[in-house]
Amino acid sequence: MAPHFLVHDNDGIFGQYRERKRRGTTDHRYRCHLDVWLADVMGIVGVPIPYGAPNANPHVERFHRTLRAEALNHFIFLSERHVLRVCREFVRYYNGARPSQATYAIPDPYPELRRPPRAIGKVIAHPVLLGVLHDYRRAA
């Protein structure tokens, strides 16, 4: 399922765009070339955050920083599919295995580890992103 919206900042790297563009029966005014590309190629509505308001989207900014530092900086990408595969695997790890303050540092276990672990036992390392990251769990 494809996203319907993409929240992004108003960085100058996207190129400012001030012309009206007609799509069907409606006029759209895009703030940057990224919005035009998202609408024409991807079918996604670009939603830029307000000018001078970097705090308008701090959670996404923090996630992007974490994604870049923990995953993207460790690979040389050969195609768009490669980037998407790495991002999907990192998001799966980030939401399911990575300790988070929002879940009281208790991640949801992998399906193979749903049963409660023994108090003593072997610790298993599940490699994530070809071993760049690991998720350590006690074997059941």
Sign of CA dihedral 111, 115, 120, 121: negative
pLDDT score of 7 more than 90? no
pLDDT at 136: 80
What was the pLDDT predicted at 45? 83
DSSP 25-75: TEEEE-SBHHHHHIIIII--EEEEPPTT-GGGSHHHHHHHHHHHHHTGGG-
Position 14 confidence tier, pLDDT thresholds 50, 70, 90? low
| 45-103 confidence digits (pLDDT tens) | 887 777 767 677 677 778 888 899 989 999 999 998 999 999 999 988 887 776 665 55
- Residues 39, 72: one domain? no
| pLDDT of amino acid 72 | 92
90 shares a domain with 62: yes
Q: Is 16 left (phi over 0), alpha (psi -120 to 50) or beta?
A: beta
Does one domain contain both 31 and 96? no
Is residue 64 located within the same domain as residue 133?
yes
Q: Is the same domain home to 75 and 112?
A: yes
Pick from 14, 35, 55: which residue ends a domain?
Answer: 55
Q: Determine phi and psi for 29, rounding to 5 degrees.
A: -110, 115
Q: Are residues 65 and 111 in the same domain?
A: yes
Looking at the fold, whether 48 and 99 belong to one and the same domain comes out as no
pLDDT at 140 over 70: no
Q: Distance between the two ends of the chain, CA-based, in angstroms?
A: 34
Residues 91 and 116 in one domain: yes
> What pLDDT does 116 receive?
62
Give yes or no: residues 101 and 77 share one domain.
Answer: yes
Q: What is the pTM of this model?
A: 0.52
pLDDT in tens, 16-25: 766 656 655 5
- For residue 29, the enclosing domain spans 5-55
pLDDT recorded at residue 79: 92
Asked if residue 108 and residue 65 are part of one domain, the reply reads yes
Q: What is the pLDDT of residue 8?
A: 77
Predicted local distance difference test score (pLDDT) of residue 21: 60
Q: What is the pLDDT of residues 111-124, one digit of tens each?
A: 655 666 567 778 88
Total domain count, the chain:
2
Contacts 24+ apart (CB under 8 A), 131-134: 132/70, 132/71, 132/74, 133/70, 133/71, 133/90, 133/93
